[in-house]
Amino acid sequence: MYDVFLSHPHTHAAWVEQLAIRLSDERGLHVWLDKWVLVPGKNFIPELAKGLEEAATCAVCVGKDTPRGWVKQELQKALNRQATEESFRVIPVLMPDGAEESVADFLELRTWVDFRGDREEAFHRLACGIKGVPPGRWRREQDDLDPLERKLRKIASLREKNLLDQSVVLEVQRELLREALANG
């Protein structure tokens, strides 16, 4: 059983994988992501259908273009499932380069998560939607963080935006931890 099936155009695979990593690492969610689940060389169509059936929610990631191809097929299957299974949620996720006009007709009838603005709030709202709980009043957690945590989150945010390579992120994280341990 998966907490969320991430449906996305392959042109945004890197951004969606970073989102999947955060959902898994920071919120402990079991994520269905094609790159992580599909076995190379096998017919992927039955696996897509199985993933959607085994997921509690489907997050449909929308960029600047209207969902088409496999994303559109996944969206249709998810909406059909939601029509017969009220507890199944379909969450539209507007990616940083997304356009409201790109959200398909039936998808626009759901509450969106919008990553074009405050990405930390959007991440919080998405995690709450996946868990099926109200997000409550947004309060930036950064205010409660110590300086090390703040720096680590900033690095993760830069990586999420593809502004830093993963090898650079790991090296900076190691250095910050060395400093923190040395200073007690």
Q: Is the pTM of this model over 0.85?
A: no
Domain of residue 107: give its range.
4-138
SS3 34: helix
Confidence of residue 66 (pLDDT cuts 50, 70, 90): low
| Per-residue pLDDT, 65 | 67
Answer yes or no: do 34 and 114 share one domain: yes
Distance CA 164, CA 141 (A): 23
Answer yes or no: do 106 and 159 share one domain: no
| Per-residue pLDDT, 108 | 66
In percent, the amount of the chain with pLDDT more than 70 equals: 86
What does the chain come to in residues? 184
| Per-residue pLDDT, 22 | 94
Answer yes or no: do 152 and 110 share one domain: no
CA 104, distance to chain mean position in Å, is 19
As for how many domains the chain has, the answer is 2
Answer yes or no: do 174 and 125 share one domain: no
pLDDT of 130 strictly over 90: yes
Answer yes or no: do 49 and 85 share one domain: yes
Answer yes or no: do 82 and 146 share one domain: no
Answer yes or no: do 156 and 134 share one domain: no
| Per-residue pLDDT, 86 | 84
Answer yes or no: do 172 and 81 share one domain: no
What CATH number is attached to the domain comprising 41?
Answer: 3.40.50.10140
pLDDT, one tens digit per residue, over 3-54 is: 999 988 888 889 999 999 999 999 999 999 999 998 888 888 888 889 888 9
Answer yes or no: do 120 and 44 share one domain: yes
Contact criterion met (CB below 8 Å) for 127 and 119: no
Confidence of residue 151 (pLDDT cuts 50, 70, 90): confident
Q: Report the mean per-residue pLDDT for the chain.
A: 83
Contact criterion met (CB below 8 Å) for 17 and 10: no
Distance CA 162, CA 177 (A): 22
Answer yes or no: do 75 and 10 share one domain: yes
